[in-house]
Amino acid sequence: MAIMKPRTLSGFMELLPAPARQMERMMEILRESYALYGFTPLDTPVIEASEILLAKAGGETEKQIYRFTKGDTDLSLRFDLTVPLAKYVALHYNELTFPFRRYQIGKVYRGERAQRGRFREFYQADIDIIGDGQLDILNEAEIPSIIYRTFTALGLERFRICVNDRKILNGFYAMEGLTEKSGDIMRTVDKLAKIGPEKVRQILQEDLGLTAAQAEEILTFISITGSSQAVLAALEGYRGRNELFDEGLTELSVVVNYLSAFGVPEENFAVDLTIARGLDYYTGTVYETVLLDHPEIGSICSGGRYDNLAEYYTEKKLPGVGISIGLTRLFYVLSEQGLLSEAPAPADALVLPMTADLSPAISAATALRAAGIRAQVYAEQKKFKQKMAYADKQDIPFVLLLGEDEIGAGKVSLKDMRTGQQELLALGEATGRILQAIGQAEAVPPIRN
Amino acid sequence: MAIMKPRTLSGFMELLPAPARQMERMMEILRESYALYGFTPLDTPVIEASEILLAKAGGETEKQIYRFTKGDTDLSLRFDLTVPLAKYVALHYNELTFPFRRYQIGKVYRGERAQRGRFREFYQADIDIIGDGQLDILNEAEIPSIIYRTFTALGLERFRICVNDRKILNGFYAMEGLTEKSGDIMRTVDKLAKIGPEKVRQILQEDLGLTAAQAEEILTFISITGSSQAVLAALEGYRGRNELFDEGLTELSVVVNYLSAFGVPEENFAVDLTIARGLDYYTGTVYETVLLDHPEIGSICSGGRYDNLAEYYTEKKLPGVGISIGLTRLFYVLSEQGLLSEAPAPADALVLPMTADLSPAISAATALRAAGIRAQVYAEQKKFKQKMAYADKQDIPFVLLLGEDEIGAGKVSLKDMRTGQQELLALGEATGRILQAIGQAEAVPPIRN
């Protein structure tokens, strides 16, 4: 038979077993965190009718789409989880209870130019809260708490959730008579950290044609930093000049003032007036999340408030707020930077039968599983050394040996693979030891600090 | 703006929130069950190069495939999880430890003719154990235990795991000099339950040209039923006439004899000599699982032992054993038959602030979440009745009310939505009550009996 050389497409992440277990553990933590805030796990098709998926799209996105026909149907693979959500909410509107909270962890597809760290198939982990006609600001205020809890559960400590409010920005630019140029200005200001204030001033004046006074006003505005309360106080100085600005400031104050009740420490949070999030789509609070020791990674969790989720599919006004984690890219970057903890083992215990009758070993494994221990029985015809190597290579922390002596004594030999120590114990005792070690292992989060 | 009528493609399952939570709970149980046996969660791309995916395929499968080009690459969506596994093991052979145990719960695509209960995108939940050159029979013996534990955890009691051994069948047909016709005979015998023995005899003689004596031998053979031990004893009567048969019988004895150590009750297991599993691919033990009260559903979990997983991609011999659950179809059928338990609520508790300052309500929700309780704060500007209706409609079992009185007393009012009873309690007490109810709810499995 002709052999076909196996390969995986470039731009498609395919993990080896140990990193696959790390990834699964991260997903499990995301599912748990999102569920704690009352989000429902949703799953929508990967394939949609092209006319539905592309109702809004255009430009770059459209070029990247995986689009094809099957029979005479024009189909596309989803390129994000937001458009399918919009379709879902519009389609099932009458059967949903609002505010509707859903999370979705799913694969999306973009035919980007293949390069290291860029993926054509990747997981997004999204949460959204959708209101029917209106949505209270408290939902926006809750988002930092969800981000905080999720990343803390993943093991991160040194990260910061940065928020801004598009109403404050839009109101401010209106005050300055710069509404028409506000898009270009925001894109420029967004580069502040990268290019510095003088370069920003230069672009504002030379490229965008602002006066020196206007540029100065903008630089003064975006240099408002410090504690959240200090930023709010400084912003109060602008109050009364523009209605939208005032509304945004009131909202931002709500977000800041409930942080502590939501359990978000001040050091993990900042108001950052340079954040705009590119999309015109956002209309209120916007979010970014940065790793303090790895700012080069960029935002690892972003999103914001929008006024109209599904305007392409329904005349109903469906405001919402949502955030997204680019999970595949985050996993890739954490892995590249050596920021992932040791992968979980595939099993907690390997049971090695040392007699012809395997029943005692199988019964021991059955008992371990009943106690919640992930156990494998190893019965391959190999030398003892190779059997131990099977456990060793996969970092299985315990080996249970069941030979004539152990069976005769009604006990098991428990070998702790980390210490090399071996003890003759009752199965119940061995179970207790293993459960204790599992508890310790589970306390180690997937991301190192 | 022109409104595009939202729709989901026919043949694509898109669940409402309550069934989505049922489905997620079933997946969680599958993940846990598979992990207990030491299987690693694997995830491979949905898209593969067509030449890789179709190295083996032909006929019906090939026609159903979603195949398209992107740029100048010929791509296909996976139509099962076995071919991607074969590619994975061949590709990463040097980096894997054997026996390699993996589970994969993932979507696969088949462009079947759309009809009720047939899906074009559906989840398969597969486990496989792959050996390097050889694989001990104990791995085959363990499979019924995994099936038993999984379905028991899902809530099923009245199901039966049926096994047979292809070596016994092939050996038997060789004894009768019917090897060449064995494929046709097995397909006929497979219909025994449906068409009865006389119709089977007629097809064997008239359509397949067997002698009356041969047909009689076959009918005698497949009428061997009863307890596993009784079937083994009857089969022993054929021993010594064909080497392959004898080998199969020895293997089947191993599978049967370790059942009890593996924790599988006799009543959930049967040796069924009529089972062959269509695929030529299987070479040893084969499995089917049927619901005793719903035989019309057919097998809900099937698989078997194969000798050569990846012959299209490598010259290495990679024997394995695996089973697959057609999860989307199973979910659909259970749902249609009314066999699913009540869906889990999206949250365990809804916190209703009754004061302008939301801090006490938010702090209460934060404390509940810290205790592992899924909590939502409801702050929409609605009438009290509408707020309660939000909890009611979604079956959220508890509402915590925080008004001036409660805050003044340092307590919360806990309303049990099932009984309608409301009590003033310390938050710690309320937490305890809710946790107790969660424990009770979690003890109810997703499938009813």
pLDDT per residue over B25-69, tens digit each?
Answer: 999 999 999 999 999 999 999 999 999 999 886 667 778 999 999
Q: Given this model, what pLDDT does residue A401 score?
A: 98
Please check whether residues B233 and B353 belong to one and the same domain.
Answer: no
* A134, A261, A313 ranked by CB distance to B363: nearest: A261
When scoring B258, B308, B315, B392 by the number of chain A Cβ atoms within 10 A, the one with the most, hence best to mutate, is B258
- Give domain status of residue B8, yes or no: no
What three-state secondary structure class fits B8? coil
Please check whether residues A259 and A306 belong to one and the same domain.
Answer: no
pLDDT digit string, tens, across residues A150-203: 999 999 999 999 999 999 999 999 999 999 998 899 889 888 888 999 999 999
CA proximity to B161, closest of B147, B175, B149: B147
Instruction: Tell if the CB–CB gap between B4 and A96 is shorter than 8 Å.
Output: no
Please check whether residues B282 and B378 belong to one and the same domain.
Answer: no
Please check whether residues A326 and A362 belong to one and the same domain.
Answer: no
pLDDT digit string, tens, across residues B176-220: 999 999 889 988 988 888 899 999 999 999 999 999 999 999 999
- Give domain status of residue B223, yes or no: yes
Contacts of A10 (CB under 8 A, 6+ apart): A114
Q: Which residue of A has its CA nearest to B2?
A: A312
Cα first-last separation, chain B? 51
Alpha carbon B167 to chain centroid, angstroms:
26
Q: Given this model, what pLDDT does residue A232 score?
A: 97
Residue B5 with chain A: CB contacts under 8 Å:
313
Q: Given this model, what pLDDT does residue A14 score?
A: 98
- Give domain status of residue B448, yes or no: no
- Give domain status of residue B375, yes or no: yes
Residue B48 with chain A: CB contacts under 8 Å:
8-9
Q: Given this model, what pLDDT does residue B193 score?
A: 83
Among residues B336, B371, B400, the one where a domain terminates is: B336
Instruction: Tell if the CB–CB gap between B43 and A23 is shorter than 8 Å.
Output: yes
* Least confident among A18-27, A44-53, B54-63: B54-63
Question: Has residue A2 got a pLDDT over 90?
Answer: no
Tokens of A420: 């090399």
* Contact call for residues B260 and B276 (beta carbons, < 8 A): no
**Crossing angle for the helix pair A137-154 and A243-257, to the nearest 10 degrees:** 40
What three-state secondary structure class fits B15? coil
Q: Is B75 on the interface with A (CB under 8 A)?
A: yes
Q: Given this model, what pLDDT does residue B59 score?
A: 66
CATH number of the domain where residue A273 is located: 3.30.930.10
Q: Is B94 on the interface with A (CB under 8 A)?
A: no
- Give domain status of residue B449, yes or no: no
DSSP character string of B164-182: EEHHHHHHHHHHTT-GGGH
Please check whether residues B232 and B135 belong to one and the same domain.
Answer: yes
Q: Given this model, what pLDDT does residue B13 score?
A: 97
Question: Has residue A111 got a pLDDT over 80?
Answer: yes
Q: Is B66 on the interface with A (CB under 8 A)?
A: yes
pTM assigned to the model: 0.97
Q: Given this model, what pLDDT does residue B163 score?
A: 97
Question: Has residue A134 got a pLDDT over 80?
Answer: yes
Among residues B336, B370, B385, the one where a domain terminates is: B336
- Give domain status of residue A126, yes or no: yes
Kind plus residue range of the DSSP H or E element containing B187: helix B182-189
Residue B52 with chain A: CB contacts under 8 Å:
4, 6-7
Please check whether residues B421 and B282 belong to one and the same domain.
Answer: no
Instruction: Tell if the CB–CB gap between B52 and A6 is shorter than 8 Å.
Output: yes
* A23, A43, A149 ranked by CB distance to B20: nearest: A43
Kind plus residue range of the DSSP H or E element containing B329: helix B327-336
Tokens of A400: 């249970």
Please check whether residues A272 and A403 belong to one and the same domain.
Answer: no
Q: Given this model, what pLDDT does residue A58 score?
A: 66
- Give domain status of residue A6, yes or no: no
Please, what is the average pLDDT of chain A? Answer: 95
When scoring B47, B127, B407 by the number of chain A Cβ atoms within 10 A, the one with the most, hence best to mutate, is B47
Per-residue CA distances from B305 to B165, B252, B318 (Å): 9, 12, 11
Question: Has residue A427 got a pLDDT over 80?
Answer: yes
Q: Is A358 on the interface with B (CB under 8 A)?
A: yes
Q: Which residue of A has its CA nearest to B264?
A: A366
* B139, B313, B369 ranked by CB distance to A4: nearest: B313
Instruction: Tell if the CB–CB gap between A51 and B258 is shorter than 8 Å.
Output: no
Q: Which residue of B has its CA nearest to A97?
A: B390
* Contact call for residues B125 and B105 (beta carbons, < 8 A): yes
Percentage of residues of chain A with pLDDT beyond 70: 99
pLDDT digit string, tens, across residues B296-315: 889 999 999 999 999 999 99
Cα distance between residue A56 and residue B277, in whole Å: 47
Please, what is the average pLDDT of chain B? Answer: 95
**ipTM, 2 decimals?**
0.96
Q: What is the mean pLDDT of residues B103-110?
A: 98
Please check whether residues A252 and A306 belong to one and the same domain.
Answer: no
Please check whether residues A146 and A201 belong to one and the same domain.
Answer: no
Residue B42 with chain A: CB contacts under 8 Å:
15, 17, 20
Instruction: Tell if the CB–CB gap between A37 and B390 is shorter than 8 Å.
Output: no
* Contact call for residues A101 and A128 (beta carbons, < 8 A): yes
- Give domain status of residue A286, yes or no: yes
| Largest pairwise CA distance in chain A | 92
Please check whether residues A337 and A393 belong to one and the same domain.
Answer: no
Among residues A274, A292, A310, the one where a domain terminates is: A292
Residue A5 with chain B: CB contacts under 8 Å:
313
Kind plus residue range of the DSSP H or E element containing A362: helix A359-370
Which letter does DSSP use for residue B342 in this model? P
Please check whether residues A134 and A249 belong to one and the same domain.
Answer: no
Tokens of A143: 């988002």
Q: Is A375 on the interface with B (CB under 8 A)?
A: yes
Q: What is the mean pLDDT of residues A141-145?
A: 98
Cα first-last separation, chain A? 51
Please check whether residues A38 and A66 belong to one and the same domain.
Answer: yes
Q: Which domain holds residue A230?
A: 159-292
Amino acid at A374: R
Which letter does DSSP use for residue B444 in this model? S
pLDDT digit string, tens, across residues A260-285: 999 999 999 999 999 988 767 899 99
- Chain A: closest CA distance from residue B79 (Å): 14
Tokens of B46: 């949905």
| Domains in chain B, number | 2
CATH number of the domain where residue B415 is located: 3.40.50.800
Q: Is A17 on the interface with B (CB under 8 A)?
A: yes
